[in-house]
Chains A and B, each alone.
Chain A
Amino acid sequence: KAGVTQTPRYLIKTRGQQVTLSCSPISGHRSVSWYQQTPGQGLQFLFEYFSETQRNKGNFPGRFSGRQFSNSRSEMNVSTLELGDSALYLCASSLAPGGSYEQYFGPGTRLTVT
Chain B
Amino acid sequence: GENVEQHPSTLSVQEGDSAVIKCTYSDSASNYFPWYKQELGKGPQLIIDIRSNVGEKKDQRIAVTLNKTAKHFSLHITETQPEDSAVYFCAASGAPNDYKLSFGAGTTVTVRA
Chain A residues proximal to chain B, CB less than 8 Å = 4, 33, 35, 42-45, 48, 55-56, 58, 90, 92, 97-100, 102-108
Contacts and interface: CB of A to CB of B under 8 A. Distances in A.
Contacts of B31: 100
Given A98-B94, A102-B34, 16 more contacts: A4-B43, A43-B91, A56-B98, A56-B99, A90-B44, A92-B101, A98-B99, A99-B30, A99-B93, A100-B32, A100-B93, A102-B49, A103-B34, A105-B44, A105-B45, A106-B43
Most chain B beta-carbon contacts within 10 A, residue among A43, A45, A92, A107: A43
A108 B31 CA distance: 27
Contact residues of A: prevailing secondary structure: strand
Interface of B: 30-32, 34, 36, 41-46, 49, 51, 89, 91, 93-95, 98-106
Residue of B44, B103, B105 most packed against chain A (CB within 10 A): B44
B32 A45 contact: no
Given A100-B32, A100-B94, A45 B46 contact: no
A83 to B, nearest CB: 22
A43 B49 CA distance: 18
B43 A45 contact: no
